[in-house]
């Protein structure tokens, strides 16, 4: 299990191209880009990777030093919070405008922070002919690195420099039988109350005020010979609701915890029901490859009859595709109802995530599915899925060989995935399918 992913924060004055650079590194349009300065008000973060090394990249609002505007002050505070939380700072400046007085002031602030830093000179569109980036040596922050975020020039070299500047990857020394469980969900759904009830003591501060838990905290117990590490995390809110700097970075820390965890216990409020934000949290854990258990907390407060739990379960499974194969448990952290039952289900989900299916069995099920419903033709030619094998567990990943792998539609892949589930279960665990061409290939042993 690898250590926590490093955080890289992009800071600078307004309109130097931070959001454009952010989108360039991610390879998708994640941040709003506009010529008007100050478009990015809050911070935006996303996970990305380069040369096999993953990290979180944070886009910050432009820092306006000396402004009396309340919004400018807030943006400055958030950007400086990014500096304090990050493992590496990218100080972005504008190569077309040259050294700006605000760049000099920010350079002083960043020097005082004493954080690892790279000075990046953006808008160097005429590389390598334009030497304007050398003017930024006067900031005293080391070698200026020229890039053009809009065209991508110099981006690869910069990313190589970023990886070299990051702290070395840490490998945790946990035992093989250790299971890391992230307790996640919106603020105030009872995550801390659940952990306290499970351990029989006040390990976490509990308050009706949403967002009381700021950092991720580990608690360990042994159950049926397995070491379980529970991580109680700060609540995840919608991005537009994350107003405080501390809350924003609580969300970032929670995202890092999900990347570390093997299983996520997603708690939702029985009174509120399943909200859009609950679904997004579930999907985030699912996409990260974690096993997932949905815990419906505060079930003791719901007025119910004998059909309430089955009706709730049937409704959410029909509405949310992720939940079709996710175990759901109705519990109460306050009374202790079914809290211990979560341990058994978490172990079951963890075991499903570690399963490996023999290749002959994979192909027996695959052949049956393809014979029953062949894939649609491509330009009048039959598309064949010839064979497959499981190439990875945790989460289970299958490699399928086809004569036209790129032409197999998503709905057919869903059909195969559902067929695999009906054959082997994998309850609470995402299944991943990879496709490869059979041209020049032989079937795996």
Is residue 295 in a domain? yes
Is 285 found in the same domain as 221? yes
d(CA 167, CA 111): 19
Is residue 1 in a domain? no
Q: Which structure tokens are listed for 219?
A: 């608690």
Is residue 443 in a domain? no
pLDDT of residue 429: 97
Of the candidates 298, 325, 353, which is a domain's last residue?
Answer: 353
Strand runs (DSSP E) across 155-252, as ranges? 178-184, 217-223, 226-232
Is residue 236 in a domain? yes
Angle between helices 155-165 and 18-26 (to 10 degrees): 90
Is residue 363 in a domain? yes
Is 225 found in the same domain as 130? no
pLDDT of residue 265: 96
Looking at residue 418, which CATH number applies to its domain?
Answer: 3.30.300.20
Residue 315, CA distances (Å) to 180, 221, 310, 323, 427 in order = 30, 34, 9, 10, 18
Is 13 found in the same domain as 111? yes
Residue of 38, 13, 33 whose CA lies nearest to 22? 33
Domain that holds residue 110: 7-165
- Which pTM value belongs to this model? 0.68
Q: Which structure tokens are listed for 346?
A: 């978490």
The 144-146 sheet, strands edge to edge: 44-50, 53-59, 7-11, 88-94, 117-122, 144-146
Is 184 found in the same domain as 102? no
Is 196 found in the same domain as 59? no
Is 365 found in the same domain as 432? yes
Of the candidates 304, 319, 353, which is a domain's last residue?
Answer: 353
* DSSP secondary structure letters along 61-112: PPP-TT---HHHHHHHHHHHHHHHH-SEEEEEEETTT-S-HHHHHHHHHHHH
Is residue 386 in a domain? yes
DSSP helix/strand/coil, 378: strand
CB atoms within 10 A of CB 118: 20
According to DSSP, residue 271 is labeled T
pLDDT of residue 250: 55
Of the candidates 353, 384, 414, which is a domain's last residue?
Answer: 353
Is 274 found in the same domain as 376? no
Looking at residue 89, which CATH number applies to its domain?
Answer: 3.40.50.300
d(CA 260, CA 181): 9
Is 188 found in the same domain as 290? yes
Is 329 found in the same domain as 191? yes
d(CA 339, CA 198): 7
d(CA 413, CA 375): 9
Is 56 found in the same domain as 101? yes
Is residue 286 in a domain? yes
d(CA 184, CA 47): 18
Is 74 found in the same domain as 32? yes
What pLDDT tens digit does each residue of the chain (445 aa) get? 445 778 898 988 888 988 889 888 887 554 433 333 343 334 477 888 888 888 888 887 666 555 555 434 544 565 666 677 788 999 999 999 999 988 888 888 888 888 899 999 999 998 888 899 999 999 999 999 999 999 999 999 999 999 999 987 765 545 567 899 999 988 889 988 898 888 885 443 333 434 434 344 578 888 988 999 888 665 444 444 444 444 555 567 667 778 879 999 999 999 999 998 899 889 989 999 999 999 999 999 998 776 789 999 999 998 898 899 999 999 999 999 999 999 999 999 999 999 999 999 999 999 999 999 999 999 999 999 999 999 999 999 999 999 999 999 999 999 999 999 999 999 999 999 999 998 755 444 3
Is residue 161 in a domain? yes
| Structural domain total, the chain | 3
DSSP helix/strand/coil, 123: coil
d(CA 269, CA 206): 16
Is 196 found in the same domain as 160? no
């Amino acid at each position: 299990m690898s250590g926590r992913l490093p955080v890289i924060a992009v800071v600078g004055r307004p309109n130097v191209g931070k959001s454009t650079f952010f989108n360039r590194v991610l390879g998708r349009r994640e941040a709003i880009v506009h010529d008007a300065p100050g478009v990015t008000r809050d911070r935006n973060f996303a996970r990305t990777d380069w040369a096999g090394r993953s990290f979180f990249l944070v886009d910050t609002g432009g820092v306006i030093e000396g402004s009396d505007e309340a919004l400018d002050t807030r943006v400055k505070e958030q950007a400086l919070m990014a500096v304090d939380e990050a493992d590496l700072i990218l100080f972005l400046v504008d190569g077309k405008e040259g050294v700006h007085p605000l760049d000099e002031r920010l350079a002083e602030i960043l020097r005082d922070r004493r954080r690892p830093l790279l000075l990046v000179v953006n808008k160097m569109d005429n590389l390598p002919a334009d030497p304007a980036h050398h003017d930024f040596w006067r900031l005293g922050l080391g070698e200026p690195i020229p890039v053009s975020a809009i065209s991508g020039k110099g981006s690869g070299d910069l990313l190589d420099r970023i990886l070299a500047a990051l702290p070395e990857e840490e490998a945790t020394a946990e035992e093989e039988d250790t299971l890391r469980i992230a307790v996640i969900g919106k603020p105030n759904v009872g995550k801390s109350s659940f952990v306290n009830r499970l351990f029989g003591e006040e390990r976490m501060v509990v308050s009706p005020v949403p967002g009381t838990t700021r950092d991720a905290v580990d608690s360990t117990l042994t159950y049926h010979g397995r070491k379980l590490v529970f991580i109680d995390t700060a609540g995840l809110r919608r991005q537009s609701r994350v107003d405080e700097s501390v809350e924003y970075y609580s969300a970032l820390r929670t995202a890092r915890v999900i990347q570390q965890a093997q299983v996520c216990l997603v708690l939702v409020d029985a009174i509120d029901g399943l909200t859009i934000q609950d679904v997004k949290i579930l999907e985030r854990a699912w996409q990260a490859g974690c096993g997932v258990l949905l815990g419906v907390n505060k079930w003791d407060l719901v007025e119910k009859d004998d059909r309430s739990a089955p009706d709730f379960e049937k409704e959410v499974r029909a509405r949310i595709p992720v939940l079709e194969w996710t175990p759901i448990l109705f519990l109460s952290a306050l009374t202790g109802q079914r809290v211990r039952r979560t341990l058994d289900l978490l172990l079951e989900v963890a075991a499903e995530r570690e399963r490996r299916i023999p290749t002959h069995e994979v192909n027996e099920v695959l052949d049956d599915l393809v014979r029953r419903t062949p894939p649609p033709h491509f330009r009048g030619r039959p598309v064949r899925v010839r064979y497959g094998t499981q190439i990875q567990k945790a989460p289970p990943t299958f490699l399928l060989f086809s004569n036209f792998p790129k032409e197999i539609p998503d709905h057919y892949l869903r059909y195969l995935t559902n067929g695999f589930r009906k054959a082997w279960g994998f309850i609470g665990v995402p299944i991943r399918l990879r496709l490869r061409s059979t041209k020049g290939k032989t079937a795996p042993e």
